[in-house]
Amino acid sequence: AENQLSNPEATPSTSITESQNESKENNDSVSKDVGFKFPEFYTCPSQPMEPIRYQAVQSKEKGPIKVYSDQAIREGDTAHLTGNVVVSQDGQQLTANSLTADNLSQSYKAEGDLLFTNQNFVVGADYLTYQAVEGSTEISNTRFHLYSNNGNGSAETITIDNNQLLTLSNSEFSTCPTNQRSWAFESDEIVIDRESGWGKAYNSVVKVADVPVFWLPYITFPIDDRRKSGILPPSFSNSDRNGRDVSVPYYFNLAPNYDLTLTPRYMTSRGSMLGTEFRYLTEASNGELFFEALPNDKDPDALGDKRWQYDVKHLTDLGDDWTTGVNARKVSDDGYYQDFGGSLENSNQDILSQNLYIQHRSKDWFFRTEYKDWQLLNSPVERYTIAPRMQMTRFFEPDENGFHANIHTELTRFDKDNAVTANRYHLEPNIGWSHETLYSFFRPQLKYSVTHYQQEDLTGNVEHLTRTLPTASLDTGLYFERFIEGDDERYTHTLEPRLFYLYTPYEAQNEIGVYDTSLPTFNFTQLFSSNRFSGIDRIGDANQISGALTSRILDSQGREKVSMSLGRIVYLADRQVQLVDTIGRETEKQSGLLAEVNWRWTDSIEFKSVIEWDDQTNNTTHGLVNMHYEPEPNHIINLGHRYRERLDRKQEEAELAFAWPIKDNWRLLGRYNQDLIENRTNDSFLGLEYESCCWAVRLVARRYLNIQLDSEGFILPGQEDEHNSGVFLQFVLKGIGSLRGSTTEFLEDSIYGYEDLLGK
Amino acid sequence: CGFQLRGQGAELSNTKVWLISQDMSAEFERRLQQRLAYQGAELVKQPELSELQLAIVNYGVERRTVARDSLGRAAELELIFTLEYQMLTPEMVSEQEPEMQRMTSRREFAYERNLESGQEREQQRLIADMHEEVIGRLLLQIAGTVSR
Amino acid sequence: ATLEKSRLRSDRSNLDVQNNIIIYRDNVIYEHGNMTIYADSLTKQGENAGTITALGSPVKIHYVDETGETTDIDAPKIIYRQQSGELSASGDIKIVQSSGIDKLTLLGNQLTANQGVTEGFGFVLNGAPTEFRIEQPSQPAIYATADQLRSNGKDKQTELVGNVKLQQGDSNMTAAFLTYDGTSKVISAGKSDSGEQRVETEFFWEQEQGDNATSSQSATEQQTEKEQQQ
């Protein structure tokens, strides 16, 4: 045995050579235990699986290549390192049985159950060669696993050229677990360029359940979420109205702050159509311009051959609280949405507006000048164009002794072809006083409206009318409460009586035209409003008292859990002002009785019920029950029943909409909306979704009401079936596709609260 | 039956509130500040001075068709006002993101699609009423949170 | 190897009356077996005057083994026991060994050696730390430090033990111990017995940076890591 003459304590080593030194951080100790193994991913995990990310040694980005080994032999320029070899370089980590390095050619070769890993993926292989000069690495018969989406597979060779270009030769890739290869993507060569963010695959085959389904000679795909130009998922559908319908949107990422999407669409029974959507965002403005055109529609009974639609949203901030904007939507003909709409919501879209405005809003002032026009689809009616309306309001915030006021002025020009047109000048100062304590509030208010009309009839003579009307109102209420000791919480139970007295003298207004005024639906809101009409053209004469009693249950944080309200109006005088002369004075002594319950005991349930009961005729004129139950995201049940007696007909509908996971990967969603008067289903669909950890499929069968109407709003003759039905099948390979599209919109519109996350 | 005028329970007078919102002069925020002032609360500019911080994160109105006429066209619409807000007292402040709370209010109205004058004003009135209701419930929650 | 007689020459010599020893001075040359010592002064003491103490600026020892390989040692002071062939020295010690076309230079501050037991010149050199340098015509020079250098003089192997840091061309190596084989020119290292310290090799290869040549390191500039003492 060697006679070990050991030097008891190692004296600190002084710096050896005077050449430039750089201190090395102390924390580059490599984890000695080479315990890292290739992540096991045999079956779909119940929750999303986050493979243990082997924290590569935080070696400096451009530092030296560090190799740890049990033994090392150096012979001239070559070094043979063996025994648990661990190489760390530029944040990447390599473990192998042995490594041979050549200092002259500055390259090394590693062999023996090799694991190469960096922040994004781990690769198992037989051997690896590295060339320092070109910074290129070649790994042979490899298997790999991506941390981000559990994408995994194998490749005969992986070459990395100076850390940018990754080339996999005859590889197999999938996000499915190794023992459940539902789908796989095999290609001769995949080139991934991290700098440009693009991947290219040559001669690839998509295999579903090991059956080749697609052959793709060449495709490109994004590898990070930078916005890139390219094809978006196309959509195919088939309907009796449009025939086979294919649209392939193409996205142009023109600049970080604006982009363009072109959607060519071909329909066998109509021809080809192009949609363009341009989005932009600048320092002061942002907006979306959408324009879609079908130059000539081959369908004989289309309402016109040139079909187009535009939808413009634009906003510009001019600074100092001034903004200007456009919100305009218009279609070429009344049948547009019925032909191209697609869902019940669209196909019955019937009132489009075009609005251009400039506005200033600050603490004390509100100015707005706007132009507004409407397009009513399938309706004989034409609405007044507001060309322009100029509003100015001066606010006086509450001062110390409780007074607040504002002066509202408005000039509007109502324009319509071959109809009475009018200029309306309106001045409305109002002053209020408010005395509020903990247990009461007392708010008298005085308003004075001065309105001047210049109405010009068809023959051209102008009629001048002026109306001045004061309105006085008093809103007062008390606040009672008591406490209820709940199981672990103290609840507050309140009782809040409220009285609202309204007085407006009578002034005949039947000479005044109706330009933007309507008789609102009777509900709790109208109980306490200072004009029974909504709009300026009619100020209802009133001498009435509205009473309401509200009782709430609040939790310990004051959040409302339940609220119950009861209310009605007692009329002290008949009401003479009406929208049109044909309706005589109203003589009822009191309004219908309104009752409303809102139930929000937990965050997952929202229940509302409203009843309007007319005690003279002893029947319910309006009833509503609506429940939204969502204990967890996307576990939804919506239940609703509505009844209302309209002037001309009764209206009663019931609805059930739900989205609920069934077994672990299955989810059922659906909607059933029944018109109980017409005894007809307005919209019904049933959807089944299956989502495993690497693919998802959705099947939706739908039947929705889609009655064809002519431009006057009458039913087009010869429609055997008022409904339109369709079946949608969608399939996504998670990790290399996405599912956004019209079906997503339709599902989120139909099921309140539902968010389409399939395939995310 | 045990009811008395509110006195000991929740109150809001001279509570210092720090209100944050993207647009302080929008109708909703204007009305909220007005009613806070009426209740005696004091709006402060610096968070350290405040006893309660209220952040109006987002609000919006969704319009849904809830009933159809004999020809299948919209006959009743529902307006759903949803407010997302965060409410914090100095004790509750911690590193994590404060809890996002939501409050919704719903109004329905019969939809007269052939009405020449449209129902723009009616909808504005319903939206303003939903603002009042949600602001009322917010004040109750502020009073309840501060006095706890 | 049997011990032959030793021969001693010097310009002057005088008697140290006090210690009753003779001190030889100026150009002292002492030969014994394959070893020659050149010193400024030298004394012989101890049992049958077998303990030689030589002083010099520095003392130079020249040793030639059977194969003709030479070992030259410089040291300010040496003590040599003729009887056992044991030699020890301290202070700034420099050993230069020739092995074929290669030249080995060792520096240290404490030496014990023995030229008699084996044919070669076995020694143990300690230092704070010791330095070890090999010049080879065809290869970049090898430079190393270690707590201790050892050689058994027989099979031309030098062992570097304790905190060994070696550097050759643009790669370094640190290990618990390392051996340099003079004949095969092979350096081999291993992990420490406890397995706690493994062999760490660093390659300062310059990657073709293309346009983004950001790294300050260029191939020619020599870069050494200042080891942080564990």
Which chain B residues contact residue A552 at CB under 8 A? 140
Instruction: Give the Cα separation of A628 and C210 in Å (integer).
Output: 62
Nearest chain B alpha carbon to A713: B71
Which ipTM score applies to this complex?
A: 0.73
Mean of pLDDT over chain A: 85
Instruction: Give the Cα separation of B35 and B142 in Å (integer).
Output: 12
Q: What is the pLDDT of residues A555-572, one digit of tens each?
A: 888 889 999 999 999 999
| Residue B35 φ/ψ, nearest 5 degrees | -75, -30
pLDDT level of residue A26 (50, 70, 90 thresholds) = very low
Q: Worst-scoring range by mean pLDDT, A22-26, A461-465, B128-132, C42-46? A: A22-26
pLDDT level of residue A20 (50, 70, 90 thresholds) = very low
Q: Which of A382, A515, A518 is closest, CB to CB, to B112?
A: A518
Q: Is A649 on the interface with B (CB under 8 A)?
A: yes
The pTM is what?
A: 0.76
pLDDT level of residue A179 (50, 70, 90 thresholds) = confident
Which chain C residues contact residue A69 at CB under 8 A? 198-199, 201
Q: Note the pLDDT of residue C209.
A: 46
Q: Note the pLDDT of residue A597.
A: 96
pLDDT of A24 strictly over 50: no
pLDDT level of residue A347 (50, 70, 90 thresholds) = very low
Task: Name the residue among A382, A404, A383 with its Cα closest to residue A394.
Answer: A404
Is A552 in contact with A559 (CB distance < 8 Å)?
no
Q: From the CB of residue A708, how many other CB atoms can be counted at a distance below 10 Å?
A: 20
User: B20: number of CA atoms within 13 Å, CB side?
Assistant: 13
Q: Which of C199, C201, C207 is closest, CB to CB, to A135?
A: C207
Instruction: Give the Cα separation of A128 and A140 in Å (integer).
Output: 6
Instruction: Give the Cα separation of A201 and A172 in Å (integer).
Output: 11
Q: Note the pLDDT of residue A529.
A: 94
Q: Note the pLDDT of residue A352.
A: 86
Mean pLDDT, residues A422-440 taken together: 90
The larger pLDDT score, comparing residue A2 to residue B148, is at: B148
Instruction: Give the Cα separation of A121 and A101 in Å (integer).
Output: 25
Torsion angle in degrees (nearest 10) through CA of A458, A463, A466, A467:
-50
Please report all neighbours of B, defined by 3+ CB atom pairs within 8 A: A
A:66-105 residues touching chain C, CB 8 A cutoff:
66-77, 79, 81, 83-84, 101, 103
Q: Which of A21, A62, A79 is closest, CB to CB, to C214?
A: A62
Mean pLDDT, residues C3-17 taken together: 80
Amino acid at A84: N
DSSP reduced 3-state for A399: coil
Instruction: Give the Cα separation of C8 and A18 in Å (integer).
Output: 43
User: A155: number of CA atoms within 13 Å, CB side?
Assistant: 25
Q: What is the pLDDT of residues C194-209, one digit of tens each?
A: 878 889 998 888 765 4
Interface with B, mutate which of A315, A359, A426, A518 (most B CBs under 10 A): A518
Q: What is the pLDDT of residues A99-149, one digit of tens each?
A: 999 888 889 999 988 988 877 788 899 989 988 888 788 999 899 888 777
Nearest chain B alpha carbon to A361: B25
The larger pLDDT score, comparing residue A281 to residue A398, is at: A281
Instruction: Give the Cα separation of B95 and A598 in Å (integer).
Output: 35
The helices-and-strands tally (H runs, E runs) of chain C is: 0, 15
Is A67 in contact with C201 (CB distance < 8 Å)?
yes
Is A252 in contact with A259 (CB distance < 8 Å)?
yes
Q: Alpha carbon A282 to chain centroid distance? A: 22
Task: Work out the percent of chain C whose per-residue pLDDT is above 70.
Answer: 86
Q: Note the pLDDT of residue A463.
A: 94
Tell me whether the omega of the peptide bond preceding residue C140 falls within 30 degrees of 0, making it cis: no
Please report all neighbours of C, defined by 3+ CB atom pairs within 8 A: A
Q: Which of C138, C206, C226 is closest, CB to CB, to A15?
A: C226
Cα-based distances in Å from A53 to A26, A61, A164, C38, C85: 22, 19, 21, 66, 62
Which chain C residues contact residue A5 at CB under 8 A? 112, 124, 126, 148, 150
C148 contacts A5? CB cut-off 8 A:
yes
A483 contacts B142? CB cut-off 8 A:
no
Bridge partners of A451, per DSSP, are A426, A467
pLDDT of C84 strictly over 90: no
Instruction: Give the Cα separation of C37 and C26 in Å (integer).
Output: 13
Q: What is the pLDDT of residues A196-231, one digit of tens each?
A: 888 899 999 989 888 998 898 998 877 777 777 877
Q: What is the pLDDT of residues C177-189, one digit of tens each?
A: 899 888 888 889 9
Tokens of A350: 């019937």
Q: Which of A361, A523, A682 is closest, CB to CB, to B72?
A: A682
Cα-based distances in Å from A381 to A303, A416, A458, A712: 18, 11, 18, 8
The larger pLDDT score, comparing residue A671 to residue C69, is at: A671
Task: Work out the percent of chain A whose per-residue pLDDT is above 90.
Answer: 48
CB neighbour list of residue A540: distance below 8 Å, 6 or more residues apart:
A504, A531, A532, A533, A575, A577
Q: Note the pLDDT of residue A715.
A: 83
Instruction: Give the Cα separation of C38 and C56 in Å (integer).
Output: 8
B144 contacts A558? CB cut-off 8 A:
yes
Tokens of C40: 């400024």
Q: Note the pLDDT of residue A749.
A: 83
Instruction: Give the Cα separation of A532 and A583 in Å (integer).
Output: 15
Is A501 in contact with A474 (CB distance < 8 Å)?
yes
